[in-house]
Structure 1
Amino acid sequence: MTAKRSKVAPRVATGGGALVPLPVGLSEKEAAQEAYRRLDRRVHARLGAAVGGVSVIGLAQAWGDWASHLALSPGKQMELVWKASRKWQRLAGALGRDPDSE
C-alpha cells in the first residue's frame, strides 16, 4: 500500500498565529514529520532566545549542582531561612505603615 499524496498543501500554524504552507506533494506522513520538525525548530529558537543562547542542559546541571550542595549544607539552609524571615518581617512592617504618615 502506498502513501496518499496530498493535492493541497497542508498548512502549519506558527507561533505568531500565521499558517505557513508545507511543500506540495508530501505524503501525510511526510507532511506530519515536517510539521513536527518545524515545531521543534521554533521551540528551540524561542528557548535559545529566552536563555541568551546558553545551553539549557548546562543551566539544568548548574542548578542541580547548586541544589545538591544546598541540600547537604544545613548551616546554609538555616542562614537562608533566617534571612527570609527577616525580609518577611521587614515587608510586613512596611505593609503595616500608613504611607501618608511619613
Structure 2
Amino acid sequence: HVHYAYPSGSSWTSKTVYTNTQTTAALGITWNTTDTKRIYYITTTGTDQVFVATQNTDGTWTSQSAAPGVSADRLAVQQNTDGKDILYLPDTTHNTLYYGLR
C-alpha cells in the first residue's frame, strides 16, 4: 500500500494513495507551491509497473502509468527547474536503467 502523511498541528494525518496490488519499497514524491503533489510508486506485477498518483481537489488520489511497459524495481525522481519530473528507473533483474521526463 502507498500512503501520504503530513504534519497537522501536533500530530500527523495520513491519506491512502493506493491499495489495489502489492507495491515495492520504491517511492518518490514531487510538488511545488502551485502544482499538485505527485507520488511515484512501483507495483510488483503487470505490464505497467511504474505509476504516478496525483491528488484531486477533493483529497482523493488518481493513479496512472508513468512509464508504460517499463518493468523497474527501484526509482528516483527529481523535479527540474521547469517543474518537470525526471525519473530514473533501474531494472536490476535485466541490468537496465530507464530514464525519462514527465
Name the structure where helix makes up a greater proportion of residues.
Answer: 1
| TM-score interval, smaller chain | under 0.3
Name the structure where strand makes up a greater proportion of residues.
Answer: 2
TM-score, normalized by length of structure 2?
Answer: 0.21
Higher relative contact order (CA 8 A, sep 6+): 2
Q: Which has the larger radius of gyration?
A: 1
TM-score, normalized by length of structure 1?
Answer: 0.21
